[in-house]
């Protein structure tokens, strides 16, 4: 028995509020490393590049093309739309035009990862963002405006460890608890109504018991079904560190509850 009165089995944990948990590794039972439980975790972050340029009083190598000074800075955009330091990255590497010679590759390790250079021509460059691995963005350096911003989206699949913690500092991570305890309290009344409404058609305790009896492959399908069909206010928590997935059945939409019930019925566990 768990300290909170929950029942323990190899793949499911059930509590009094019909929470169930899928464990990636529990005792002698180990789920495959590449399962829907892990592969479904995809985190996206908005990257904002700010470029400024202006003509300077220096001779140019090419007539008709004045010498310019330019710089680029890197920021992230949080879920509120604010620019924040891009602490997510260990370093940023700018791959410039070959004509820059020994300065064609430049590395910066502190936000805002500012590069400042001079030149007369526009060109496309590749910018490398180094975190858990390298991610690349193509950037158009042009002189049409003195200041412009470019927006990009970087996608991180199955982040973990310190990198996952860094992602949480810059915004929400899919699978984390949907809202705080206060939010859960705010939706408590609606959840209670849903509980009464759902109980008319589905025995929630029987459903929770049945889910505990599913085999490994069926278990992973259930986790995917929850991910794909949950409501915005459904309570779920994906603990990447512990390899656990939690969901409160009473906060799921009726259509999803029926899907789970039908699935469990087809597997003859209820």
79 and 123 housed in the same domain: yes
Residue range 115-136, pLDDT digits in tens: 999 999 999 999 999 999 999 9
Query: Are both 50 and 117 inside the same structural domain?
Result: yes
Q: What is the pLDDT of residue 126?
A: 97
Residue 35 or 66, more confident: 66
- Determine, yes or no, domain membership for 82: yes
- Tokens 């915004």: give the residue: 171
pTM of the model: 0.55
CATH number at 112 reads: 2.60.40.1970
Query: How much is the pLDDT for 177?
Result: 54
Provide the domain limits for residue 125: 43-157
Residue 153 belongs to some domain of the structure:
yes
Tell me what pLDDT residue 198 has.
Answer: 47
| Residue that finishes a domain, picked among 89, 122, 157 | 157
| 211, 241: one domain | yes
Q: Is the pLDDT of residue 34 over 60?
A: no
168 found inside a domain: no
In a domain, 192, yes or no: yes
Residue 70 falls within a domain, yes or no? Answer: yes
Do 71 and 56 fall within a single domain? Answer: yes
Sign of CA dihedral 115, 82, 181, 259: negative
Per-residue model confidence (pLDDT) at position 162: 85
Q: Crossing angle for the helix pair 188-199 and 204-212, nearest 10 degrees?
A: 90
Rounded (10°) CA dihedral 139, 141, 146, 149: 0
> Does 1 reside within a domain?
no
Question: How far apart, in Å, are the Cα atoms of 163 and each of 79, 111, 155?
Answer: 18, 16, 13
Chain-wide mean pLDDT for the chain? 78
Summarised one tens digit per residue, pLDDT across range 211-228 is: 888 887 888 888 888 888
- 8 A C-beta contact, residue 120 and residue 67: yes
pLDDT of 234-269, one tens digit each?
Answer: 888 776 666 667 788 888 898 999 999 999 999 998
29, 48: one domain: no
| 75-131 pLDDT tens trace | 999 988 999 999 999 999 999 999 999 999 999 999 999 999 999 999 999 999 999
The larger pLDDT score, comparing residue 63 to residue 180, is at 63
Asked if the structure places residue 250 within a domain, the reply is yes
Q: How far is C-alpha 270 from the chain's CA centre?
A: 35
C-alpha 31/C-alpha 26 separation (Å) is: 9
pLDDT confidence of residue 173: 83
Q: Which of 82, 83, 125, 85 lies closest to 109, judged by CA?
A: 85
Please indicate, yes or no, whether residues 57 and 142 belong to a single structural domain of this protein: yes
**CB neighbours of residue 70 within 10 Å:** 19
Domain count across the chain: 2
Q: Is residue 223 a contact partner of residue 36, using CB atoms and an 8 Å limit?
A: yes
């Amino acid at each position: 028995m768990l300290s909170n009165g929950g029942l323990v089995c190899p793949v499911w944990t059930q509590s009094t509020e019909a929470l169930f948990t899928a464990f990636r590794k529990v005792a002698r039972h180990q789920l495959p490393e590449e399962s829907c439980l892990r592969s479904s975790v995809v985190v996206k972050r908005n990257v904002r590049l700010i470029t400024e340029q202006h003509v300077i009083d220096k001779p140019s190598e090419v007539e008709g093309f004045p010498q310019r000074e330019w710089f680029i800075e890197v920021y992230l955009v949080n879920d509120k739309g604010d620019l924040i330091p891009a602490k997510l990255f260990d370093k940023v590497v700018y791959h410039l035009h070959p004509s820059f010679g020994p300065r064609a590759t430049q590395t910066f390790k502190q936000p805002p990862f500012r590069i400042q250079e001079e030149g007369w021509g526009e060109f496309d460059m590749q910018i490398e963002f180094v975190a858990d691995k390298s991610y690349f963005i193509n950037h158009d350096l042009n002189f049409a405006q003195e200041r412009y911003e470019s927006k990009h989206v970087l996608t991180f699949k199955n982040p973990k460890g310190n990198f996952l913690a860094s992602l949480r500092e810059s915004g929400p991570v899919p699978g984390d608890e949907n809202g705080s305890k206060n939010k859960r309290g705010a939706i408590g009344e609606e959840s209670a109504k849903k509980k009464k409404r759902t109980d008319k058609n589905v025995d929630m305790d029987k459903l929770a018991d049945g889910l505990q009896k599913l085999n490994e492959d069926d278990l992973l399908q259930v986790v995917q079904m929850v991910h794909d069909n949950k409501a915005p206010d459904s309570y779920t928590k994906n603990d990447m560190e512990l390899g656990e997935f939690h969901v409160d059945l009473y906060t799921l939409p009726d259509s999803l509850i029926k899907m789970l019930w039908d699935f469990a019925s087809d597997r003859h566990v209820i």
